[in-house]
Amino acid sequence: MPVEPVDLRTALPPGFADADLFHRWEADSLKLYLWLRAHVRPGAARSPTAADSRHGYLEVDATGAEIEAAIGVSKNTVTKLARQLQDLGVATFRGDRAGYHFRLGEWFTQRATGAGLELRAEAFYLEALISAPLPAER
């Protein structure tokens, strides 16, 4: 299956290259992250937080073979890279016999006041890290 190119303007938040995180991020784990962002999907809704809102996760399920082929690394390296993403705080993951299960962020819905529309927002953990105030600013 051909892989669509990643649009880096939407894959990386403004200010990413200026963040400390950028200087600690290794090339292969960044490749994995960008591949995951290109394949992310909203997961099933979790129990509602209120009668007019819902919440879920932005997820990617992939086999080790899919990831190995996509970014050109070995199976052992996939697990190492997944741990690096988790250590950076940009994703969580678990591995099992079916493959790897990543969470890159969360989605939320809220009923618009008076309009009857459902508003939806997606928030990636990376954007939250980049936009968080520095310790001196808190």
Q: Is the pLDDT of residue 138 over 50?
A: no
Structure tokens at 14: 């403004």
Q: In this predicted structure, what is the pLDDT of residue 137?
A: 46
Bridge pairing between strands 92-96 and 99-111: antiparallel
Domain 8-132 has CATH 3.40.50.300: no
Q: Is the pLDDT of residue 136 over 70?
A: no
| Of the listed ranges 12-26, 60-74, 121-135, the one predicted with least confidence | 12-26
Extents of the domains making up the chain: 8-132
pLDDT: is 132 or 111 the higher one?
A: 111
pLDDT: is 49 or 15 the higher one?
A: 15
pTM of the model: 0.78
What is the SS3 assignment for 65?
A: helix
Q: Is the pLDDT of residue 71 over 90?
A: yes
Q: Is the pLDDT of residue 88 over 90?
A: yes
pLDDT: is 51 or 131 the higher one?
A: 131
Rounded to whole angstroms, the Cα distance separating 26 from 117 reads 42
